[in-house]
Amino acid sequence: MKHNKKRNTAFLYECLIKELTKAIVRENKEKQTVTKTILKEFFFKESVLKKELDLYNSLLESKKLEPSFSRRLLEETKKDFYGLDRKTVFNSQTSLINKMSNQLGHEVFSNFIPNYKDLASIGLYFQNQTLPAKKRIMLENNLVSFLGREDKVLTEMRHLDNLEYKTFVKKFNNAYERTLRKEQKDLLTNYIVSFSDNGVGLKSFLNEEIGRLKTAVQQQLVESTNTSNIENFKKVKAKLDNYAKTQINHQMIEEIFYIQDLISEVSKKWA
């Protein structure tokens, strides 16, 4: 099933958010201004693209739903999708695509979007009139499963304002003169962007990263022969286990940042 990502409003929005994140991290003031201007022009509260984006988010943020309720939600959300003036949506998307290409470059559409698969599935569901009946049913069943998922999702986080994330970036820039490790850059990037996507990308990243760190810590517990080191790694493991019950905040991000450092350094010694 072919999906035209440039006609997926949620994908276009996520590409802009990623572009803004990169501009913030790289302190590119000009690109920050351009990206913010585009976001404000096409995704203000009453805009047709913001209304369509809200429909995507209503499905992306739903979970643990019963199959019957999921099917009803999909049906009603699709009605709302076609309740929007599709010609106005198409024209707005065209203007947005052109502005993104001309002002940010074609590479903006190549930004890595962690939940692209989910965005594509929802986009296909919304626009599946031309698909054969069997594929439409398969697509709906996949989304019903998605809406019924029970992810090990961390506690909902609050939004971060501009001052908070700028302060956070400055703090780490001052604390780390050396180049950050890839996993630390990913953590920082996802944290910065979380103010604008309700933390969806950050929570997904943390679920995977905390799992990776737990595995690494467990390996050290098995391989280490130093009693003091074993006790310290047990404390780190307990802290990682406790994050599933903790609200995402600055302290958690900082702690994970330093645990990433610890694991990397210890792994070098064992390599």
pLDDT digits (tens, 9 = 90+) for 110-136: 888 878 889 999 999 998 877 888 888
Q: Say what the pLDDT of residue 50 is.
A: 95
How far is the C-alpha of 114 from the C-alpha of 98, rounded, in Å? 24
pLDDT value, residue 153:
43
User: Residues in the chain, how many?
Assistant: 271
Residue 248's contacts (CB-CB under 8 Å, 6 or more residues apart) are 154, 155, 157, 194, 199, 202, 203, 206
Alpha-carbon distances, residue 241 vs 155, 184, 238 (angstroms): 14, 20, 5
- Where the chain has pLDDT below 70, the residues are 1-2, 25, 151-179, 193-198, 269-271
User: Which of 155, 158, 160 is CA-nearest to residue 246?
Assistant: 155
Q: Are 2 and 130 in contact (CB under 8 A)?
A: no
* Contact assessment for residue 77 and residue 83, using Cβ atoms and an 8 Å cutoff: no
What is the structure's pLDDT at 155?
39
- Identify the CA nearest to 118 among candidates 73, 56, 65: 56
pLDDT of residue 159: 44
For residue 164, what pLDDT is reported?
52
Give me 71's structure tokens.
């099917």
How far is Cα 85 from Cα 46, in angstroms, rounded to an integer? 13
Check residue 1 and give its pLDDT: 57
Q: What is the pLDDT of residue 59?
A: 94
Q: Can you list the alpha helix ranges (DSSP code H) found in the chain?
A: 9-25, 29-42, 48-60, 67-83, 86-104, 116-126, 133-147, 162-175, 182-193, 200-223, 227-242, 250-270
Query: What pLDDT is stored for residue 154 in this prediction?
Result: 41
Q: How many CB atoms lie within 10 A of CB 36?
A: 13
pLDDT at 228: 85
